[in-house]
Amino acid sequence: MGKSKAAKELFSWTKAIITAVLFSCVIRMYLFSPIVVDGESMMPTLQDEDKIILSKRSDIDRFDIVVFHATKEKDYIKRVIGMPGDHIEYKDDVLYINGKKYEEPYLDNEKKEYGQENLTEDFKLEDYTGAETVPENEYFVMGDNRRNSLDSRMIGTVSKEKITGQAEFLYWPMNDIQLIK
């Protein structure tokens, strides 16, 4: 009877561990995923080596921070500026989407640091992409560190299929824990 009880106990633990592993794999594959920020293109919002949680939800909104496959080997993290159908223009360091002026409060600290200098050069979407509007199922993305960001100004728009998730939660370093806006 001792062996039977030990076998049942071992089976019970094995079943619990397998269930937990499968559950965590499903969560990571379909709901959330941890990543490490690589580079300075999202400063000051995100720093190099910050650890964040991505949500794998499929709805993407303007100004979301997204991660996408830039190359086979490399993922980029950038902010969505232009949605499908949008016309984008920067003039005198001000963002205009479809002719409407938009505030970018996430750039306020950076603007204070540079003073009178513009963070973002003047341009229209067609200057970089040749198109007047962001194509269907595509997004125009930019890093918050406008002077040091490889983004849609250089690589073009990003297809929805390449986006792996939205940045939701910064969990490391611990003194910077926060929901990402």
Q: Give the chain's domain count.
A: 2
* Same domain for 4 and 73: no
* Same domain for 161 and 85: yes
Q: Identity (one letter) of the amino acid at 97?
A: I
Least confident residue range of 3-17, 25-39, 53-67, 109-123 = 25-39
pTM above 0.85, yes or no: no
DSSP state string for 70-94? SSSS-EEEEEEEE-TT--EEEETTE
| Mean model confidence pLDDT for the chain | 86
* Same domain for 54 and 12: no
Give the pair of three-digit tokens for residue 35: 């990543």
pLDDT at 2: 60
Which residues are the active-site residues?
41, 78
Contact yes or no for 66/139 (Cβ under 8 A)? yes
* Same domain for 63 and 136: yes
* Same domain for 61 and 15: no
pLDDT at 141: 97
* Same domain for 95 and 26: no
* Same domain for 147 and 70: yes
Distance in angstroms (rounded) separating the CA atoms of residues 57 and 59: 6
If you count DSSP H runs as helices and E runs as strands, how many of each does the chain have, helices first?
Answer: 4, 12
Distance in angstroms (rounded) separating the CA atoms of residues 133 and 149: 22
Distance in angstroms (rounded) separating the CA atoms of residues 153 and 114: 21
pLDDT digits (tens, 9 = 90+) for 70-129: 888 899 999 999 999 999 999 998 999 999 999 998 887 776 666 667 888 999 999 998
Cα within 13 Å of Cα(54), Cβ side:
23
* Same domain for 50 and 5: no
pLDDT at 25: 59
Give the pair of three-digit tokens for residue 1: 């009877």
* Same domain for 37 and 20: no
78 by Cβ neighbours in 10 Å (0-12 / 13-18 / 19+) ranks as buried
* Same domain for 17 and 47: no
CATH of the domain at 174: 2.10.109.10
* Same domain for 75 and 4: no
* Same domain for 44 and 23: no
Question: 46: helix, coil or strand?
Answer: coil
Q: What's the order of all strands across the beta sheet hosting 100-102?
A: 100-102, 94-97, 88-91, 123-124
Least confident residue range of 11-20, 45-54, 75-84 = 11-20
Phi then psi dihedrals of residue 174, to 5 deg? -60, -35
Residue 143: name the closest of 71, 72, 91, 68 by CA: 68
- The parent domain of residue 1 ranges over 1-30
